[in-house]
Amino acid sequence: MNFFWNLVLKRKISRANMLPLTQIWEEVLMYLAKSEDSIWSDMEVEDTVKLIKKQLHLLKSSGKVNVSKLNYLFLPTAPLQEIAMENG
């Protein structure tokens, strides 16, 4: 079943979008490095960093990422918003 979901959820990122996407994630990682956990987030900062780094590695090595995992991080009341609110 994992094979099926990998086919469905992993998307190839165009070369034109790879650099801007990489820069955004690296900037997010920079902010997360200075952040503390939020009691409202369902993910700790460390777990959020691991997820982004894994997707960044996949992007650089294969050009594919799990779009649903990354989309989730940026939703309202999702981990990045809750962490950001906790850290000003």
What percent of the chain has pLDDT above 70? 89
Q: Please report which confidence band the pLDDT of residue 9 belongs to, taking 50, 70 and 90 as the band edges.
A: low
- Mean pLDDT for 75-79 is 91
Checking if the pLDDT of 51 tops 50, the result is yes
What is the model's pLDDT at position 14? 79
3-state secondary structure labels for all residues of 15-84 = HHHHHHHHHHHHHHHHHHHCCCCCCCCCCCHHHHHHHHHHHHHHHHHHCEEEHHHHHHHCCCCCHHHHHH
> Comparing 5-9, 35-39, 74-78, 81-85, which segment has the lowest mean pLDDT?
5-9
What is the model's pLDDT at position 43? 94
Dist CA 63 CA 21 (whole Å): 11
